[in-house]
Amino acid sequence: MTSLAVVEVNKATIGEYPGAIRALVRLLIAGKGREKKEAATALYAICSFADNQRRAIDCGAVPILIGLLDSGLVRAIEVLGLLVKCKEGREEVIKVNGCVKVLVEVLRNGSTRGVQYGLFTLNCLCNYSESFCFEARNEGVLEICMGLVEEENEKVKRYASRLIRTLRGNHAIG
C-alpha cells in the first residue's frame, strides 16, 4: 500500500476505500516492528491528502501514534505533524494524557527529522491552546528550543525559533 500511496492520485482513492486507513491503524497496534513502520509510512503518505487526516483521526490513530513515539518510530511524529494541521487533530492530541512529556522526549532524544516534526507539532499545539502552551513551558520546551537554535540543521533552527516566539508570546487561536 505504501508504494501506491506515494502516487498523488491514489491518496484520495485509498482514503475513501472503506477500511484502508482503519487497517493501517490496526497494524500500528498489532504489527511487528517492520509492519508498524510500513503502516506509519503508508499513513503518512495517505494523510498528506487533507481529507484523509480526519479519517485517520476518526479511526483512533492519534493516541496510538503518541504511544509509538516512545518506541522511537520517527514516522509516528511525522504523521502527527500532518494530523495537527487540522483542528480535529489538534483537539485529539491535546486530549491524550502525557502527550507533552512524550513530545519533549522527541525533542531531547529524537533524530534530526523527529526533532523537526516534534517542533512543528508542538508549535501547532501551542498556537492552538493556551493551557498546552503553559504545560510545554513547564516541561522545559523553551530551554530545549534555546539550545536547538544553535543546531546546524536549518529547519530545526527555524522551527525552534518559531516555537520560541510562540512560547514567549503565546498567540493561541483556540
Tell me which architecture the domain covering 1-96 has in CATH.
Answer: Alpha Horseshoe (1.25)
Task: Sketch the domain layout of the chain as residue ranges.
Answer: 1-96, 98-174
Q: Extract long-range pairs of 88-94: CB within 8 Å, 24+ residues apart.
A: 88/53, 88/54, 88/57, 89/53, 89/54, 89/57, 89/62, 90/124, 90/125, 90/128, 90/129, 90/174, 92/57, 92/62, 92/63, 93/62, 93/66, 93/121, 93/125, 94/125, 94/128, 94/129, 94/132
| pLDDT tens sequence for the chain (174 residues) | 455 444 455 555 667 776 999 999 999 999 998 999 999 999 999 999 899 999 999 999 999 999 999 888 889 999 999 999 999 999 999 999 999 999 999 999 999 999 999 999 999 999 999 999 999 999 999 999 999 999 899 999 999 999 999 999 855 444
